[in-house]
Structure 1
C-alpha cells in the first residue's frame, strides 16, 4: 500500500490540507512549504491520486462555511442569507458542522479546503498557530475569533447587553443570573458582568456549560435556589430551556422571574411567553462575512488590495413578554 496523504503530511510537518493543495492548487501554498512537501514526497515515494484532484482550474467558485452546531436555530437563517449573498457574487456555498470540537473542526477543514476557494470559520476552536498556517494556505475569515493577520467578523453584544441591563434596572431587578456557555477565550461573561455592575445589578454566573436546551433546564433550578429575579441566557436555545423548566416548577414568568436570551431566533417569537432577547441580524452577519471572504479571495488573486480587516456587527434588545417588573418582597 502506498504512502497516504496523512503520512506525508506528518513527515513534512504540515496539515493534510496543505499536502492536498501542493498537488491540486500549488499557487496557493508558500514556496518554501511547497518545496518541503515535494522533497518529502519524493523521499517517501508518494504519488498523488489523479482521481483526488478536483475537476477544475485554479478556482472552484465555491465558499466554505464551518459552523459549531447546525441544530442551533440561530444558524439556519444565517446559512440561508449567506447562500443568497454568495450566489449574487457568483459562488456556491458549502456548509459543514463541527459540533464545537477541535478534532472535528480540523477534519472538516481538511475535507473542504481542496474543494473551496476560501473558508468562513465560526468561533473556531483551533489554536492560533494552526489558524495562521491555514490562512497561509487559503483565504480565511473568522467569526467571533480574533487572530491578528486574519480578517474577522466581530458580533458585538455591547449595545444589546447595555440595553438589557437598562431594561432590567428600570423594571426594578437587582439580583440576576447569567447562564454562561462561552469558551474561556470569549468575553461574553466578562462583558455582561461589567455592564450589569455599572448599572448596579448583581450577577451570579453559572457554568460554563454547553450551549444547549438541556443546559437551560439544568440552570433553571439553580436560578431558583439563588433567589434571582432575572436570568440572561447565553443564547435563545438555553433561554428556552430555562423557560421550559421554570414552567415545570410552577414559576411564573415574568411575574417571579424575567428571562432574556441572545440571538432573536424564530423560536423567540413563538414560545410562551415570547422571549425578550438581544437581536443579532442574520442578514448583516451573512453579508459582511461573505463579502470579507470574497475580498480575501480576490486579494490573494491580486485583483484587490491586500490586507485583513475586522468588521463589526452590532446588536439591540427586543423586549417581549418574558421580562416584567421585579417581584416585590
Structure 2
C-alpha cells in the first residue's frame, strides 16, 4: 500500500501541511526541514499525487505542442527530442496535430489549453488577432509564424536554398521546377525565387498543393513536361513521391532530372537514389522550442530565435543533361 502524507509527516516530525508545502512550494520551507521530509518520503516510497499537486499549485508541469501533420516523417524526431528537452526542464510534453485546418487547430487548442502550462504552435493557421488573444490566456510560442508580441522560433531555409541554387548552377542547370506546398503567408516560393535569381537560375512554380507523397506523384511528370532538368520539392515526402514517379516513368535520376528535398528526414538517406536535401536539425529545433516556451512561462520578454539550414548533397543530383 502506498505511503500517505501523514506517514511521511510522522516520520519526519512535521505536520502534514509542511509535507505538502515541500512538494508544492519548496521555497517556503527551510532547507533542513525540506531535507528531513524528502528523506522520509524516499524511505517510505512516497510519491505526491500529480493531480492534487496541480490543483494546489495551479501548474500542470506539462507543455503542449501542436503540429500540422504528425504523420509527416519530419516531426517524430522533433517530438522525441523536444520531449527529452522538456523532461530536463521538469515538464512532460503533450502532442497533437491539426492537419493544417483552422477549425481542427482551434478544437485541439481548446482541448489541451487547460492541461498545459505553455503552448507551442507550429505554422499556425489562426489569424494574428486570435493568436494575440491566445497569448493573453497562456504562454505561447510560434514556430515559423511571426506575430507581433509573441515569441517565435524561425527556421530559416535561406542558407540551404542558397546552397541548393549554387549546387545546381555548378552542375550546369539553367533552372528548376519548384513544387510548392506552402500557404501564401509563408513566402517559401518567394525566398526560393530570390535565391535562384541571384544565381541566374530560372524557377517555374507548380502548386500550391498539399504537402504529401501523392503530390510528388502528380507533380513529377508536370515538371518533366515543363522541360525541367532539376526539381526542388516542398519537403522530403513530396520529393520521394517525385522520385517514385520518375522511376516508374523511366526517367533517370540524376541522369535526366536532378531532385532536391527539404528537411533531411530518415527517408532522404534511405531513398533510391539517396536524396539530396536541405537539412533542418531536429535536435536544434526541439531544444530551442522547449527552451523558448519554458522561458516564456517564466516571464521572459518575447524574442525571435532563428535556426538555420544547410544542403546535404547526395546521389539524386548530377550534371544537367546538356552539360554531361
> Per the shorter chain, which TM-score range?
0.7 to 0.9
Equivalence map 1:69-218=2 (5 Å): 69-218=69-218
Greater C-alpha Rg: 2
| Structure 1: gaps of 5 or more residues | 1-50, 300-305
Deviation at residue 151 of structure 1 after TM alignment: 0.2
Which protein is richer in helix relative to its size? 2
Q: Deviations over 1:53-102 (max 9, x none)?
A: x7453100000000000000000000000000000110000000100000
Q: Does 1:311 align with 2:305?
A: yes
1:326 corresponds to 2:320: yes
Match of 2:65 in 1: 65
Distance in 1 of aligned mates of 2:120 and 2:161: 26
State the match for 1:221 in structure 2: 221
| Separation of aligned partners in 2, 1:294 and 1:138 | 12
**Partner-residue secondary structure (3-state), 1:113:** helix
Shifted more, 54-63 versus 133-142: the winner is 54-63
CA apart distance, 1:187: 1.3
Deviation at 1:175, TM superposition (A): 2.8
Give the structure 2 partner of residue 241 of structure 1: 241
Query: Structure 2 CA distance, aligned partners of 1:151 and 1:265?
Result: 26
- Following TM superposition, the consecutive aligned residue runs of length 4 or more in structure 1 with deviations greater than 6 angstroms are none
TM-score for the superposition, normalised by structure 2: 0.82
* Distance (whole Å) between structure 2 residues aligned to residue 317 and residue 102 of structure 1: 32
- Structure 2: how far apart are the matches of 1:224 and 1:290? 42
Describe the SS at the equivalent of 1:278.
strand
Following superposition, the deviation at residue 234 of structure 1 comes to: 0.3
Partner of 2:23: none
Alignment of 1:268-283 (within 5 A): 268-283=268-283
Aligned mates of 1:248, 1:61 — CA distance in 2 = 50
d(CA) in 1 for partners of 2:76 and 2:85?
A: 14
Distance in 1 of aligned mates of 2:119 and 2:172 = 46
